[in-house]
């Protein structure tokens, strides 16, 4: 491999002067140099051809022993010095202090086709920020991250990417259910890729410690590298920088809500400064449409990070970032205005997004009521979100009385023929039909547009778990099949109809298929 290396982050921020890889508080530094742990018997399970191309790595290079050794941490790419980033954060609404890359090690940065990429390994061993952890990752969580990050990209959701999935050959002890019964699992490493892995928490760390020099260095670095059109860093530019981060974060959340994705652990250290979906842990997609659903067992009681609360949490997290940036601005009013702008912009963009899911072109005053009534209908019984919206594209104007049977496959209970349920849906479809007729909607064109907003295939938890179950027995074929399926989530793919189906009943309460822990 002949990569075009660069060192923008490590040149902009000071390094930890302590080179010992011991768990500790790290002060006045943006990162700590650390070497990955050498795996005992690395094995490449899957690699993303798309990301090979993005990074300028040839197909033949990806088959080499050299490539495997680098993406497994067995050896370091020449003239590079791996590191773990320092950051802090609020976890479940509480200040957690220093956190940092506890099991992520950044290998290097490179530039290809005028794009900057940071390449890191998740699960390659302990760092100064590992706290009580071992810095390793297991196969099940690695499969989920590898498949999901690439699936999200093809859904059009801003996200970090994944290059490769590797088995380490080592056993990792994990208490998956936090019930005091840990077991050994197969160790694995995902090679993650993004223009930057800087998070809200990077800024919070320096601000909390009143390390304003490094706070300014970090802000200047991010602006110069990723928001350079804002101009030379200054007080006014810092304000506009915060506004841009707000807009990027808002766009990301809109996409999450559009496809029914629930992150599960929206702590400030899991919020990308570029508005990318980052850190795929206990995530999930809505099966039955439910504003109160969260996939995270840790959040089961309070449901802070539930589907319907993700926009509010994004705003709360932006407030924490505003507090961290305040020392550079020293005015609250412009920051408060931007936070207020989030709410007003979100309401408008969310309604426009829902219009796209419903195939509505124009903007009518009754659209909000139409959407709210739809949500009531969806909540009246367990209704699969993905299947419902995909089937809705088949609706034909002038036939509201036939619509109930059209969407019936989206209902989890087959005997939903009660008069009350039918009446509720028939009433909604009559209003929907009237709305479509008012704008002289064309059935074919509307269906085509709706199918670009409503995916046919998403990475349901049970699908990922099936791939995990097979992989733990040494069969990796399903990983490849799902990887290919999810590269075209909006296409019909008639030969893959088995994945266009409601969650099977056996998966309703199965570990890994309903709710998940943070243990990985």
Statement: residue 190 has pLDDT above 70? yes
Predicted pLDDT of residue 100: 98
State the CB neighbour count (10 A cutoff) for residue 258.
20
Strand partners, 384: 288
Dihedral angle, C-alpha 292, 454, 410, 348, nearest 10 °: 40
Q: What is the percentage of the chain residues whose pLDDT exceeds 90?
A: 92
Q: How confident is the model at residue 285, as a pLDDT? A: 94
The mean pLDDT of 99-120, rounded to a whole number, is 97
Query: Which band of pLDDT confidence, cut at 50, 70 and 90, is reported for residue 209?
Result: very high
For the chain, the first-to-last Cα distance in angstroms comes to 31
Q: What would the pLDDT profile of 454-499 be if each residue is shown by its tens digit?
A: 999 999 999 999 999 999 999 999 999 999 999 999 999 999 999 9
* Least trusted range by pLDDT, from 96-100, 122-126, 323-327, 505-509: 505-509
Distance CA 234, CA 246 (A): 18
Selecting among 211, 269, 299, 384, the annotated active-site residue is 269
Q: How far, in Å, CA of 109 to CA of 117, rounded?
A: 6
pLDDT at 357 over 90: yes
> Residue 101: pLDDT band by 50, 70, 90 thresholds?
very high
Tens-digit pLDDT profile for residues 296-310:
988 989 999 999 999
Reply yes or no on whether the pLDDT at 520 is more than 60.
no
pTM over 0.85: yes
Q: What pLDDT shows up at residue 353?
A: 98
414 confidence band (pLDDT: 50, 70, 90): low
Q: What is the pLDDT of residue 515?
A: 66
Position 183 scores a pLDDT of 92
Contact 252, 286 (CB under 8 A): no
Taking residues 62-83, what's their average pLDDT? 97
pLDDT at 278: 97
Ordered DSSP codes for 95-150? EEEE---SSEEEEEEEEETTEEEEEEEESB---TT-TTS-SB-BHHHHHHHHHHHH
pLDDT grade, residue 517 (50/70/90)?
low
Count CB neighbours of 368 within 10 A: 13
415 has pLDDT over 70 = no
Q: What is the reported pLDDT for 130?
A: 97
Listed residue (33, 273, 254) closest to 160, CA to CA: 273
Whole-number Å distance between alpha carbons of 215 and 222: 11
**Distance (Å) of CA 486 to CA 150, 170, 311, 479, 491:** 8, 29, 26, 11, 10
Higher pLDDT, 506 or 254: 254
Asked if pLDDT for residue 511 goes beyond 90, the answer is: no
pLDDT for residue 258 is more than 80: yes
Tell me the pLDDT of the chain averaged across its residues: 95
347 is catalytic: no
Residue 200 pLDDT > 60, yes or no? Answer: yes
Asked if 225 and 274 count as a contact pair (C-beta separation under 8 A), the reply is no
pLDDT at 176 over 60: yes
| 280 or 176, greater pLDDT | 280
* Cβ proximity of 193 and 163 under 8 Å: yes
Contacts of 298 (CB under 8 A, 6+ apart): 92, 265, 282, 517, 518
Rounded Cα distance between 516 and 177, Å, is: 8
DSSP state of 486: T
Angstrom CA distances, 471 to 144, 172, 314, 399, 464, stand at 12, 16, 35, 47, 10
What is the length of the chain?
520
pLDDT of residue 21: 96
So what's the pLDDT on residue 513? 80
Which residue in 452, 447, 459, 463 sits closest to 490, CA to CA?
452
Question: What number is the average pLDDT over the span 256-284?
Answer: 97
Gap between the Cα atoms of 328 and 51, Å rounded:
37
Q: How many helices (H) and strands (E) does the chain have?
A: 17, 12
- How far is Cα of residue 106 from the mean position of the Cα atoms in its chain? 19
213, with CB counted inside 10 A (0-12, 13-18, 19+), is: exposed
Distance from C-alpha of 300 to C-alpha of 6, rounded to nearest angstrom = 43
- Say which residue, 183 or 513, is predicted with more confidence: 183
Contact between residue 395 and residue 403 where contact means Cβ atoms under 8 Å apart: yes
Q: Helical H runs in 359-442?
A: 367-379, 385-392, 403-407, 419-438
CA–CA gap between residue 155 and residue 122 (Å, rounded)? 23
If you average pLDDT over residues 7-11, what whole number do you get?
98
Q: Is the pLDDT of residue 121 over 90?
A: yes
Rounded Cα distance, 98 and 26, in Å: 8
pLDDT value of position 509: 82
Q: What angle do CA 467, 470, 473 make, to 5 degrees?
A: 145
Query: Which pLDDT value is given to residue 173?
Result: 92
* DSSP-assigned states of every residue in 171-219: EEEE-TTSSS--EEEEEEEEEEEES---BHHHHHHHHHTT-HHHHHHHH
> Which of 139-153, 159-173, 403-417, 428-442 is predicted least confidently?
403-417
Q: What is the pLDDT of residue 500?
A: 97
């Amino acid at each position: 491999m002949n990569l075009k290396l660069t060192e923008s982050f490590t040149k902009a921020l000071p390094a930890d002067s302590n080179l010992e890889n011991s768990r500790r508080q790290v002060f006045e530094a943006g990162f700590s140099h650390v070497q990955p742990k050498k795996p005992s018997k690395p094995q490449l399970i899957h690699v993303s051809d798309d990301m090979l191309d993005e990074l300028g790595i040839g197909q033949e290079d990806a088959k080499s022993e050299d490539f495997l050794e680098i993406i497994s941490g067995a050896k370091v790419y020449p003239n590079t010095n791996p590191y773990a980033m320092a950051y802090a954060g609020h976890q479940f609404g509480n200040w957690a202090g220093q956190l940092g890359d506890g099991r992520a090690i950044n290998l290097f940065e490179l530039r290809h086709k005028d794009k900057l990429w940071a390449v890191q390994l998740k699960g390659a061993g302990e760092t100064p920020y590992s706290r009580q952890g071992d810095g390793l990752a297991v196969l099940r969580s690695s499969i989920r991250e590898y498949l999901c990050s690439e699936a999200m990209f093809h859904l059009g959701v801003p996200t970090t990417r994944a290059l490769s999935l590797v088995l380490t050959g080592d056993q990792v002890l994990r208490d998956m259910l936090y019930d005091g019964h840990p077991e050994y699992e197969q160790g694995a490493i995902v090679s993650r890729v993004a223009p930057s892995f800087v998070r809200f928490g990077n800024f919070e760390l320096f601000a909390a410690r009143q390390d304003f020099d490094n706070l300014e260095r970090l802000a200047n670095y991010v602006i110069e590298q990723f928001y350079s059109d804002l101009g030379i860093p200054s007080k006014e530019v810092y304000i506009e920088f915060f506004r841009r981060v707000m807009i990027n974060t808002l766009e990301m959340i809109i996409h999450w809500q559009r496809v029914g994705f629930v992150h599960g652990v929206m702590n400030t250290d899991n919020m990308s400064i570029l508005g990318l979906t980052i850190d795929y842990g206990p995530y999930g997609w809505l099966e039955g449409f439910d504003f109160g659903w969260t996939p995270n067992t840790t959040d089961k009681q309070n449901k802070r990070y539930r589907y319907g609360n993700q926009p509010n949490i994004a705003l709360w997290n932006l407030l924490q970032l505003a507090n961290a940036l305040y020392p550079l601005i020293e005015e609250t009013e412009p920051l408060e205005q931007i936070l207020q702008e989030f709410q007003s912009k979100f309401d408008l963009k969310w309604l426009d997004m829902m219009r796209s899911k419903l195939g509505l072109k124009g903007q009518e005053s009754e659209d909000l009521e139409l959407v709210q009534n739809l949500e009531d209908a969806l909540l009246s019984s367990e209704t699969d979100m993905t299947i419902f919206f995909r089937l809705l594209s088949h609706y034909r104007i002038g036939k509201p009385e036939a619509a109930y049977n059209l969407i019936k496959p989206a209902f989890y209970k087959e005997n939903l023929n009660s008069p009350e349920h039918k009446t509720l849906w028939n009433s909604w479809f009559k209003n929907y039909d009237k709305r479509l007729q008012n704008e002289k909607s064309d059935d074919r064109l509307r269906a085509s547009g709706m199918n670009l907003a409503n995916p046919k295939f998403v990475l349901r938890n049970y699908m990922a778990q099936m791939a995990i179950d097979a992989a733990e027995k040494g069969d990796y074929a399903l990983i490849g099949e799902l990887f290919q399926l999810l590269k075209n989530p909006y296409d019909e793919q008639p030969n893959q109809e088995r994945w266009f189906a409601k969650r099977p009943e056996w998966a309703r309460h199965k570990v890994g298929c309903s709710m998940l822990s943070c243990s990985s």
